[in-house]
Structure 1
Amino acid sequence: MPQYDAIILGAGAAGLMCAAVAGQRGRRVLLLDHADRVGKKILISGGGRCNFTNIHTAPDRYLSANPHFAKSALGRYTAQDFLDLVERHGIAWHEKTLGQLFCDGSARQIVDMLLDECARGEVTIGTGHSIGAIDHADGVYRVGDDTAPALVIATGGPSIPKMGATSFAYDLARRFGLKVVEPRPALVPLTLPPDQALFRELSGVSTDVVARAGKAAFPEAALFTHRGLSGPAILQVSSYWRHGEPIAIDFLPGRNPAWLIEAKRARPRTTLRKLLGEALPDRLAETLAEQLALPGDIANLADRKLHEAARRLAGWTFLPNGTEGFAKAEVTIGGISTADLSSQTMAARKVPGLYAIGEAVDVTGWLGGYNFQWAWASGWAAAQVL
């Protein structure tokens, strides 16, 4: 007779949630992780305060080869459901911009909450556990000396390898015949080629912009770095960007396309450099003015040239030559194919008793708590049927 009803591999957000809920449903659960402590990515998230969900969570804020896959889990376990759990544990929280919810105190409170929920479910937790051979025969999974009729893959993706992240989930999924959508870094800084080195020289300068990649557009801050571009707006569009494609930045969002021509009528003796300096950080204003190469009073500039300058400022094109890779990526796009999983239960369609949840699956959210909400929701969905 199996020792456990379910063995969950990976004690991150999704694994902890799944274990706690299944345990409280009366299941005998073993939660294993190769790290020396649980929830390591939770602890560093949100600057140590854990952006644990987003009140604007909706399926259209997730990327996947199947854009409908996330609907079921997200609809059945909502941001409000997780917030209710947070409040039951007396954890103070606050909303920052764009619906992002953070702990007032520390991310440790979220990990402690999940551990408390696991304790209530009498979950057995093994950390520092090197996961060796995994066998499946006669309806039973064997992980080392432990056995169960259900195995849950919750080991995440390869982003932030210094936290112990690996491609283990994909290797295991392939072994059981599940397809894997090619993983790539997401929510990651972009790098610029040498011919745009003048923008790298603005390292440390940040300003509010609208960044675009393809049809996706995000109004948040962009940050120039010594390697290229970062900041929330850039991290967001990085998930939609592909090598060889440009991104566009509106440095002055909300401006009328004719704003420079109107300024020429109202303030003919001012300069483009001065106008930009009134709206943008000084070093950035100087660089953009130099690039636009329209010196002197704007009274002496043709309307056509001012219109073209305004157009460029509203859609300044960059052609990144790459990203800073998995080392700096907050999450991974791609992963275990949703075509091989049930959206209701997260179970593998053709492998009885096998489940995949969280970042290991080809579902990736926007920046701002969306990926945690997917972890909670997908973990909860699998726990309903373990």
Structure 2
Amino acid sequence: MSFYCRAVHYAPASWSQSRRRGTVAVGTSRLCTRPSKRNDMKTNDSRNHCRWSRHGGLVLLIAVAAVSLVAARRPATSLPGMSGWVVVAKSPTGDDTATIQAAIDSVARTGGVVFFPPGVYRHKGLVGRANVHLQGAHVASVKLDYTPSTGDGITLVPDPDNFMISNLTLTSSGRSSGWGLRADGGTHRSLWIEKSKVGGFENGILITNALGVSIRQCRIGHTHPTNPKGIGLQLGNGRNVGGNGVTVEDCYFSSLDKGIVTYAQACLVSRPIIELCHTGIETHGTTSVVAPWYDSTTDVAHVSVQPNTVGGGSSGTGVLLLGYGSSDWKLQFGGEAERRRSVILPERLDFSPGDDNRRPRGIMLGSVVIDREGVIHARDFKKLAD
């Protein structure tokens, strides 16, 4: 008995229904139908066409299945060929220093991305260069582990313009006494560190001469609540350079002696979380702090305003503190000059004016303070001239 083929729209049907209708599905959109008597005169070409159609559909299904299996077995550890991208492959020796450094040096010639697939990459110190972006697959899945017990994880060359880090963790299994990232040569223009974590080192990030630097959504610190030590982020060296135009946004600092130390001018610290630190933010420059959060373990100072020592002198500075929401008043000033230059607008006035009539607590506009009772504390009032 012969068969002929006709194209139909696919509709699901049970096997029993197919048998009753005298049809057998081939592929997804073509059916072979048992002929009626008036179709007995179909030519051999029709019979051959049907036979080849059935065989062709079977071959097509096998080919698709084979391609799917090959694609599933192919490791997803590389990116499509793209100019400016280098994908790091782990070294079989267990020391990835040379492999990572070669990728950095290669990308630095033209500028681009060094990409890290998920994994732990052990190294003995890396040199970061201008126009290089170290990018991981995810901060939780990519670790650059510095194994020595001293020294710095990544050291930037002088003037490393446009150096970037994102979506990875800088860690030190050797518990190094150095910095996770160190930049202290030349001027550091347009550095960007985002969605990354620095831990295991005694200190986090040092940028001595920042110019237009952004550090966002990072976690810096340790997990040693009984022994907080080190500095999470330091801007400037306090001697001859401080920096200018720095943004620190939505970062978490934990288990440190000091979360942030800054000598920079025009420094914005927005929504920091400070936990298990002795001092949250120590500023020697001109710093604006917006909506900070502290826990009760920050025992020395939430914000410490100290003189600017850049250039060898000691000049007064101040802080603009907006949304200070602590029920406790842990603000520290190096002297009266720092106090008079500071402006503090609390999120709420939970704290009392305190017992020190010379330094009452409240909305602080330099030497003028408005406490929660609405009392204005000032040395004197002077009428404006007509």
TM class by shorter chain equals under 0.3
* Greater share of strand: 2
Structure number with greater Rg is 2
Structure with more of its chain in helix, by fraction: 1
Normalised TM-score (structure 2): 0.21
Q: Which has the higher contact order (CA 8 A, sep 6+)?
A: 1
